[in-house]
Structure 1
Amino acid sequence: MSISRRNFVKYTTAAAAGTAIFGCSHNDSVSKGSGVIMPKSGKRIVILGGGWGGATAAKYIKLEDPSVEVVMVERQEKFISCPVSNWVIGGFRTMKDITKSYDGLVKNYGVKVVHAEAKDLDAVNKKLMTTKGVLEYDLLLVSPGISYKYETIEGLNNPAAIEMFPAAMKAGHETVLLAERLKAMEPGGVVLLSVPPTPYRCPPGPYERISLIANFIKKYKPGSKIIVFDSNDGIVSKGPLFKAAWEDYYQGIIEYVPDNFIKSVDASTGRVVSEQGDIVPEVANIIPAMKANQTAFNLGLMSNEGDDWVRAYPKTFESYKYDSVHVIGDATHNGAVGGVPKSGYVANSMAKVAAVQMVRKLKGLDPVEPTYVNTCYSLINETEGIFVSAVYRYDEKIDRIMSVSGGVSPTRNALFGKHARDWATSIWSDMLL
């Protein structure tokens, strides 16, 4: 099945309609060693990262041109969704609910999945070195996600502190750890959550988490509260809607302190020191400032010294550094691509654009004019939701992605909560099935 130019926008927005790096391998030819694995016989796109961007791109490249060989390199055996992981922390979903198989990509589209880690990149000779061996490519798509700037908080940049003060903005072990600590907390305990400075993954994500932790406390931990130290001067996304929900449902449970940076932590005592004082909470969710995943640095994808994010051209997502390497998702530099949030839906939308543009590039065709979409739902309890949405277009005059329309939900209600649940099911299907 090929995506025509006429259907380009339809596929880009397909998941929205549905709402009403890195083992073993799926491919037996992969073996241990440092030599070339899976020798290339035709046009090939290698994808590094099997998250929201990478998995979507793998599927949509094959939809655009089934003859292109797609090899996806991903460390994890299964896809674990960061969006919706707050529901696990809130106590009404499990990790099983947000963990999905890559088998649909393999069986339905012929995507080859290699569970390995990237070690190095030879962009001149178009070779990606992995822990399983060397993969040759014609084009490489990198969707590595984020990593944390632990060094910005004194005392945090060591394994003991990371375990004591989990960030849980990459779904997995830390998600489970935070959920378990909330369940084990005695009534009357204090939870501390810190919101990092922008830009960071999923702007409304920490505020949804605050709401769901408060909901959990209200139901199961009487006398407890959650204190929020926000590095920003106010709620970054959906502020009035979150504030109204907190006022109506969580008075006396949420204590919100804006413009308050975390200065240091002490894993031996559990103490957290901020600009406005220190505290020893029973449970601490410290979310540091963020940057592109360390893989992007290790592979030499940064074009400017001091950059924390990878610069890429927004029309095609070709990297500034190498014309054979495209970069999408949270790892991209907003100053280069434009003012889009670092969200799962944006990564999904970028992936569909990149899929079309990269296949056209292989065929020697000019890129098409792309559009991009974002919808972000947040639950404020187990049933009620709010949302923000936007449509973006590429502006050739300034070479940036710009918002052309959008808005937020007028209020919170159970219907939007249902839409949030339907959205998750729909977009996972869009990516993986």
Structure 2
Amino acid sequence: MKRRDFIKTTTALGIGLTLSSKAVFASESKKELLPKKQTRVAIIGGGFGGATTAKYIKMLNPKLDVVLIDQHDIFYSCPMSNHVIVGLSNIKEISFKYDILQKKYGVKFLKKEVENIDGVSKKVLFKDGFLTYDILVVSPGIGFKYDEAIGYTKDVAEVLPHAWKAGEQTLKLAKMLKELPKGGTVLLRVPKAPYRCPPGPYERSCLIAWYLKTYKPGSKILVIDENDDVTSKGKLFKAAFAELYKDILEYTPDVNVLNIDAKNRVIKTSKGDIKADLINFIPDQKANDSAFKFGLIPEGKLWAPVDSWTLESTLVKDVYVIGDSANRGSFGTVPHSGYIANSMGKVVAEAIVAKLNGKNPPRPFMMNTCYSMVSNEEAIWVATVYEYNDDKKLTVQVGKAGGVPEQRSKIDKENQYSWANSIWEDTFM
């Protein structure tokens, strides 16, 4: 099978270190875990990017030693997590373990929290030891911009849950919504772009509006957006706002948050103070904290720069950064999304296997597809194809490939479930 056909088929289904000397010297006194006996690719982060990379490297070259590292042994999918919040699904339906990757493909899984990496001696450092590698892939997910100046801290995030990392916070927001009094007010804040899953906040707004309309008569949801307009599928979402939730959902763009009073549940904004019974505050975002700790992000920047062809870090040799923490400006115009992380996993898997075989990495090719529910019965979608452009030296959208539907539909609700099952299977099974 040709490379392009391989990727298309599966998609449808010199060191510049900023590491501290402490990290380098710390590895000298630690014990080695899983002593390396063959060429090894270590992967930090078991989400859509990391798990896909592990699976596809083993598919491309089963002889390579692939170790997937994550501090959790269960992954909770952000795609479809909005369904859990409003009771259309349960948390088990979006939960995945790494058993199949281990048994079917021979991926080794290490449940550990990474303390740091040593890019000089090629070691992943843990509290109780280290793991050596030949190639390292870092796919740690998204990070949040806490801002004490406006009163947004990690403690406040527990009181005003963002639920932008699926799992515990998903359940917390679902519980708070269920306990909302009839006639209550929900406030949802859309973060400033770029952020993980551009259509996600608007899907959640629609589903919460549907929930209020169905189970909490007299209630309403206020959606304040730091952006000057809906950032994805704008026409379709705004049609849903107006046609399905005219008296329930109030959308206001270009709203700057000035202060958060979590105790009294009041948000001070550039357009006035807003008090609500339940606040779903989705914060502005950046690369995951670990990417900063690993020395993969330049001082004063928020995302990890990578080579536009291979996705190798421009700061640390033989370390590749994929998923939400990678700097889109350095390699292309793709969004932060689970589907893109999955696509990036395939691109980097091919690049790594080619490199280890002494060959040139193939041309990058990615796809992004995303479905969004606007009620319990109807959904919308967007699909885009990306390919490397030699003139721009970036991965950019291919002409008119992909697109969006003209209107929401019931059939796309069913298609959404097929889409979700497809990416879950492609990543974890």
For Structure 1 versus Structure 2, the TM-score category normalised by the shorter chain is: over 0.9
**1:379-394 maps to which residues of 2 (within 5 A)?**
379-394=373-388
CA contact (8 A) 1:15 1:426 kept: no
CA deviation vs aligned residue, 1:278-327 (integer Å, no higher than 9, x gap): 1221110001110000000011111x321101011121110110121001
| Matching of residue 143 in structure 1 with residue 132 in structure 2 | no
CA contact (8 A) 2:11 2:343 kept: no
- 1:390 deviates by 0.6
- Correspondence for 1:425: 421
> Aligned match of 1:82 in 78, 85, 94?
78
- Give the direction of change, closer, same or farther, for the CA distance of 1:12–1:132 in structure 2 (3 Å limit): farther
Mean Cα deviation higher: 161-170 or 62-71: 161-170
Letter in 2 for 1:57: T
Distance (Å, rounded) in 1 between the aligned partners of 2:171 and 2:59? 35
| Matching of residue 98 in structure 1 with residue 94 in structure 2 | yes
CA contact (8 A) 2:84 2:174 kept: yes
| Matching of residue 248 in structure 1 with residue 252 in structure 2 | no
CA contact (8 A) 1:314 1:336 kept: yes
> Aligned match of 2:370 in 352, 369, 376?
376
- 1:169 deviates by 0.7
CA deviation vs aligned residue, 1:342-379 (integer Å, no higher than 9, x gap): 01100000100100110111111111112110001101
Distance (Å, rounded) in 1 between the aligned partners of 2:100 and 2:4? 23
Mean Cα deviation higher: 328-337 or 53-62: 328-337
| Matching of residue 322 in structure 1 with residue 316 in structure 2 | yes
| Matching of residue 267 in structure 1 with residue 262 in structure 2 | yes
Distance (Å, rounded) in 2 between the aligned partners of 1:238 and 1:70? 38
CA contact (8 A) 1:229 1:262 kept: no
SS of equivalent to 2:195: coil
Identity %: 44
Aligned length in residues:
412
- 1:152 deviates by 6.7
Distance (Å, rounded) in 2 between the aligned partners of 1:153 and 1:376? 35
Query: After TM superposition, which residue ranges in structure 1, 4 or more long, deviate above 6 angstroms?
Result: none
CA contact (8 A) 1:12 1:373 kept: no
Distance (Å, rounded) in 2 between the aligned partners of 1:16 and 1:56? 11
Letter in 1 for 2:147: E
- Correspondence for 1:26: none
CA contact (8 A) 1:57 1:354 kept: yes
- Correspondence for 2:303: 309
- Correspondence for 2:22: none
- Correspondence for 1:23: none
CA contact (8 A) 1:15 1:423 kept: no
> Aligned match of 1:217 in 212, 218, 227?
212
Distance (Å, rounded) in 1 between the aligned partners of 2:287 and 2:47? 14
CA contact (8 A) 1:195 1:228 kept: yes
- 1:267 deviates by 2.5
- Give the direction of change, closer, same or farther, for the CA distance of 1:153–1:213 in structure 2 (3 Å limit): farther
Distance (Å, rounded) in 1 between the aligned partners of 2:387 and 2:137? 21
SS of equivalent to 1:118: coil
CA contact (8 A) 1:193 1:287 kept: yes
- Unpaired runs of 5+ residues, structure 1, are 19-32
**1:96-135 maps to which residues of 2 (within 5 A)?**
96-135=92-131
Which TM-score applies when normalising by structure 2?
A: 0.94
CA contact (8 A) 1:233 1:258 kept: yes
Letter in 1 for 2:265: G
- 1:166 deviates by 1.0
CA contact (8 A) 1:37 1:133 kept: yes
- Correspondence for 1:58: 54
- Correspondence for 1:363: 357
Letter in 2 for 1:315: W
SS of equivalent to 1:47: strand
CA contact (8 A) 1:318 1:325 kept: yes
Which TM-score applies when normalising by structure 1?
A: 0.93
- 1:17 deviates by 3.3
SS of equivalent to 1:62: helix
RMSD (Å), alpha carbons: 1.3
SS of equivalent to 1:113: strand
| Matching of residue 402 in structure 1 with residue 389 in structure 2 | no
Letter in 1 for 2:344: M
- 1:52 deviates by 0.6
SS of equivalent to 2:183: coil
SS of equivalent to 1:106: helix
CA deviation vs aligned residue, 1:156-188 (integer Å, no higher than 9, x gap): 1141x1111111111011111111101000110
> Aligned match of 2:222 in 202, 223, 227?
227
> Aligned match of 1:354 in 348, 361, 378?
348
CA contact (8 A) 1:120 1:298 kept: yes
CA contact (8 A) 1:191 1:281 kept: yes
- 1:86 deviates by 0.8
- 1:132 deviates by 4.5
CA contact (8 A) 1:16 1:423 kept: no
Distance (Å, rounded) in 2 between the aligned partners of 1:84 and 1:14? 23
- Unpaired runs of 5+ residues, structure 2, are 14-28
Distance (Å, rounded) in 1 between the aligned partners of 2:154 and 2:206? 29
- 1:15 deviates by 5.2
- Correspondence for 1:9: 4
SS of equivalent to 2:150: coil
Distance (Å, rounded) in 1 between the aligned partners of 2:228 and 2:274? 20
